[in-house]
Structures are given as structure tokens and as C-alpha cells.
């Protein structure tokens, strides 16, 4: 049986989806549920093409307030043998079915880049709100990075037998890759101490 556990799930996911016995302290649960998981609302989409027709128009980036596409980039490979456009859709479009969202993305790209945008090889997308190992939709509204790095996440749980170390627990760069590395380093330091 494990003597100590390091949990690296986002705090909100842990608090909302895992039942611990005995239960986590009420204040801890409240703060964890109140913690934004960075990028949990984002939607990423990408389209592969036979030819990079956008390069002929000297376009490498699309930034627009008109949805669903809000931020798209040239995503061709370094060898210039595979071609794609990839980026972010507005989170509000998460409510549509995939086919409907796809149709709107393509219609917008055709409007912006011309008919060739409709001749894609493949369309891929990830709606992060639906990724059950990353986020949970509780219906609550969170500010970006809300509660990230809250001091409570450094507290010892179950006499130091449970450490919480996801990026959102980090006091520096909470929610980012750097935060994840920082939280992991802190947990590693703590686990080295006899428990
Ligand atoms: C779309 C998007 C874009 C991003 N862009 C950037 C960026 O440009 N720069 C940047 O610094 N950061 C970015 N981030 C944030 C970055 O991905 C995170 O900071 C980082 O992945 C957090 O690492 P982590 O180890 O804390 O958590 P995660 O990488 O989320 O790891 C948590 C792990 O827990 C697992 N898990 C969840 N539930 C369970 C369970 N019940 N049982 C077992 N395992 C479970 C998950 O599968 C996952 O592997 C982005 C995030 C997203 C979603």
C-alpha cells in the first residue's frame, strides 16, 4: 500500500470528481472547487490542406473578433511538406454540435481566405470543456487564474500523506507549464522528508 500520494490533477477536478475518506477539509474543498483550471474553456481546431494557399496571400496569422475562429496560425511543418491552419475558436461555440461548429469554421475561413479554404483534407478539434480528465463544467464562472497558487494548496493533508501538486497549486506561473514544474519540484522536496 502506498505510504504517500502526490495528486497532480487540477484542484477543481480533484474536489469535484474524487471522493476521499475521510473527506478533505471543508475549507480545502471550497477553495479547490473555486479554482480556475487554466484554458479549461478553450477550443482548439486545426485543418490540414494539400497546399498552403494562405502563404500566397502573405498570411500567417488570423486574429478576428468575428467567431468562431478568433486566433489562427499557419501550422505548416518546418520542411514545408505538410500544411495546416490551427488555433483557437471562441469558447461560446462549445455549445454547438461538432458538425455545426466545423461548418461555421469553414464558412468563416472561406470568407476570409477564399474558396480554397473549403478544400481541406481533414478537420480536428478539441473542446477542452468536454475533456473529463482536465476540466469539469460546474456551471460556475471563473476569472482567469482565479485562486491559482492559493496558500491552502501548500498545506499538509492527512498528516503529509497526500500532496496536491498540479500547476494550479503553484504560487508562481499557476496554470502554466512552469507552474506545473514548480509544483512538482516542491512536492519532490516535501516527499524527500520522512513522513
Ligand atoms: C488548450 C490549452 C493550451 C495551453 N497552452 C499553454 C501554453 O501555451 N503555455 C503554458 O505554459 N501552458 C499552457 N497550457 C497549460 C498547461 O497545459 C498546463 O499548465 C499543464 O499541462 C499543467 O500540468 P499539470 O501536470 O499540472 O496538469 P495536467 O497536464 O492537466 O495533468 C493532469 C493529469 O491528471 C490526469 N488525471 C485527471 N483526472 C484523473 C483521474 N481521475 N485519475 C487519474 N489521472 C487523472 C490527466 O489525464 C492528466 O494527465 C495550456 C492548456 C490548455 C488546455
What are the extents of the domains in the chain? 5-38+135-192, 43-130
Q: Are 125 and 131 in contact (CB under 8 A)?
A: no
Spell out which residues line ligand 1, taking CB within 6 angstroms.
Answer: 8-10, 13, 38-39, 42, 44, 128, 133-134, 166-167, 175-177, 179-180
**The ligand 1 atom nearest the CA atom of 166:** 26
Residues 6 or more apart in contact with residue 56 via CB below 8 angstroms: none
Tens of pLDDT, residues 8-59: 999 999 999 999 999 999 999 999 999 999 999 999 999 999 999 999 999 9
Spacing, Cα 57 to ligand 1 middle (Å) = 36
Task: Give the per-residue pLDDT at 194.
Answer: 66
pLDDT of 69 reads 98
Per-residue pLDDT band for 91 (boundaries 50, 70, 90) equals very high
> What is the C-alpha separation between 165 and 161, in angstroms, rounded?
13
pLDDT, mean of residues 91-112 = 97
Angle, CA of 90, 174 and 43, to the nearest 5°: 15
Among protein residues, the one whose CA lies closest to atom 50 of ligand 1 = 39
Select from 3.90.660.10, 3.40.50.150, 3.40.50.620, 3.40.50.300 the CATH code of 43-130: 3.90.660.10
Question: Residue 3: pLDDT above 80?
Answer: yes
pLDDT of residue 195: 55
What is the reported pTM?
Answer: 0.91
- Give the Cα-Cα-Cα angle 127, 131, 137 (nearest 5 degrees): 90
Kindly report the CATH class assigned to 5-38+135-192. Answer: alpha beta
Ligand 1 atom closest to the CA of 18, numbered from 1: 41
Strand partners, 85: 47, 74
Give tens-digit pLDDT for 117-156.
999 999 999 999 999 999 998 989 999 999 999 999 998 8
Amino acid at each position: 500500500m502506498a505510504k504517500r500520494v502526490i495528486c497532480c490533477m487540477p484542484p477543481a477536478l480533484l474536489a469535484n470528481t474524487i471522493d476521499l475518506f475521510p473527506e478533505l477539509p471543508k475549507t480545502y474543498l471550497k477553495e479547490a472547487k473555486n479554482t480556475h483550471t487554466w484554458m479549461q474553456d478553450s477550443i482548439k481546431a486545426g485543418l490540414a490542406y494539400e497546399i498552403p494557399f494562405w502563404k500566397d496571400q502573405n498570411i500567417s496569422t488570423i486574429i478576428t473578433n468575428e467567431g468562431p475562429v478568433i486566433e489562427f496560425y499557419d501550422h505548416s511543418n518546418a520542411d514545408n511538406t505538410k500544411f495546416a491552419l490551427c488555433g483557437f475558436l471562441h469558447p461560446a461555440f462549445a455549445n454547438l454540435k461538432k458538425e455545426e461548429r466545423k461548418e461555421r469554421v469553414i464558412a468563416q475561413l472561406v470568407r476570409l481566405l477564399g474558396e480554397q479554404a473549403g478544400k481541406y483534407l481533414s478537420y480536428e478539434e478539441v473542446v477542452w470543456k468536454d475533456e473529463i480528465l482536465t476540466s469539469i463544467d460546474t456551471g460556475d464562472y471563473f476569472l482567469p487564474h482565479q485562486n491559482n497558487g492559493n496558500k491552502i494548496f501548500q498545506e499538509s493533508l492527512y498528516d503529509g500523506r497526500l500532496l496536491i501538486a498540479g500547476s494550479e497549486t503553484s504560487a508562481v506561473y499557476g496554470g502554466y507549464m512552469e507552474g506545473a514544474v514548480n509544483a512538482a519540484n516542491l512536492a519532490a522536496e516535501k516527499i524527500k522528508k520522512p513522513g
